[in-house]
Amino acid sequence: MSRRLILMKTLLCSVTVMVVVISLLGHPHLVNLVGYCADGDQRILVYEHMVSGSLEDHLLDLAPSRTALDWNTRMKIARGAAKGLEYLHESANPSVIYRDFKASNILLNKDFNAKLSDFGLAKLGPTGDQTHVSTRVIGIYGYCAPEYALTGQLSTKSDVYSVNLELYSWR
């Protein structure tokens, strides 16, 4: 199989995962899917408009004319993102492991309310008595929980590890 075909199949799976996850789940701290279009090997997802962009826009490479987010706003954003993740872990049935918690995937409305976006790496969580799901390690190793990076055993705790690393980088 050619490398391009493998990449296209991977992309198709990723987009399909995002469409399914976003369509089935609804929560104030998860981005809403407005539309989806597929034409040949081209795919596009249309999310609700988040006027303040991503959290990354407010943390990294700020122009001299822009002020950094104050502590209360950062905490509001962290709380909102955590509520979205809590919903995925505790209320979604089956649970969803997000696997891509980072500033660029936290979108902000005009009041800086946070919504998680980009569910392309999401994985259905363990069911029943299972404590984890086994999967190929995807993502940046520096953000992966050590047990996931070493064994491929993924759990909601893997997301919590990523959240802690990301929050630390907001300082």
Lowest mean pLDDT among 35-39, 54-58, 79-83, 124-128: 124-128
User: How does DSSP classify residue 103?
Assistant: G
Query: Which of 85, 170, 73 has the alpha carbon at shortest distance from 113?
Result: 73
Mean of pLDDT values over 130-153: 71
Show Cβ contacts of residue 34 under 8 Å, excluding neighbours closer than 6 positions: 46, 47, 48
Fold of 50-169: Transferase(Phosphotransferase); domain 1 (1.10.510)
Q: What is the CA radius of gyration of the chain?
A: 17
Structure confidence at residue 73 (pLDDT): 96
Alpha-carbon distance of 37 to 47, in angstroms, equals 12
Q: What is the mean pLDDT of residues 49-58?
A: 94
Q: Where are the domains of the chain?
A: 50-169
Q: Which two tokens stand for residue 139?
A: 């993502």
Contact present, 25 and 84 (Cβ < 8 Å):
no
C-alpha closest to that of 115 among 95, 101, 99: 101
Overall size of the chain counted in residues: 171
* Type of residue numbered 40: G
Query: How far, in Å, are 5, 6, 73, 125, 140 from residue 134 at the CA level?
Result: 25, 21, 37, 10, 17
pLDDT at position 8 is 39
For residue 40, pLDDT over 90 is answered with no
Q: pLDDT over 70 for what percent of the chain?
A: 82
- Beta carbons within 8 Å of 78's beta carbon, 6+ residues apart: 114, 167, 170
- For 19, the token pair is 């469409």
Instruction: Give residue-wise pLDDT tens across range 87-132.
Output: 999 998 888 888 888 899 999 999 999 999 988 778 887 777 777 6
d(CA 125, CA 119) in angstroms, rounded, equals 13
Catalytic residue set: 100
Average pLDDT over residues 128-140: 70
Residues 107/53, Cβ–Cβ less than 8 Å = yes
Strand-pair category, 114-116 with 106-108: antiparallel
